[in-house]
Amino acid sequence: MKFIVMFLLVVLTACSSSPGNLTDLGKEVQILDSKPGSECSVVGKVVGENEQGSIDLARNHARNLGGKLKANSIFINQEVPNGQKYQVFATAYQCE
């Protein structure tokens, strides 16, 4: 019985935290229209992905990952459709 309850909790958690849903941290990350200047510092690189081919959900995933790096902005370097999978390659920044 414990196994069934644990399994259901894992499944429900996985379904409710889809990478394409914006997290609280992800909501704080904006997508920049152009590469920033000296007012921003790079905090890392992120790759947002969506297995169903949605560019918006892949961008949201990239924003979520940027938020985990304490970034407040990302600049999308490349968007790559690959069959049903969509990837967004971005640089995460902390801007003043």
Per-residue pLDDT tens digits for 10-31 = 444 444 457 789 999 999 999 9
Q: Is the domain defined by 20-95 classed in CATH 1.10.1370.30?
A: no
Cα angle 57, 17, 23; round to 5: 65
Q: Which residues have CB under 8 Å from 83's CB, separation 6+?
A: 53
Task: Judge whether 55 and 79 are in contact, CB under 8 Å.
Answer: yes
3-state class of 46 per DSSP? strand
Residue 6 has pLDDT above 50, yes or no: no
Which two structure tokens, joined as six digits, stand for 31? 């997508």
Q: What is the pTM of this model?
A: 0.80
Q: What is the DSSP letter of 21?
A: S
CA distance 39 to 82: 34
Average pLDDT of the residues in 22-47: 97
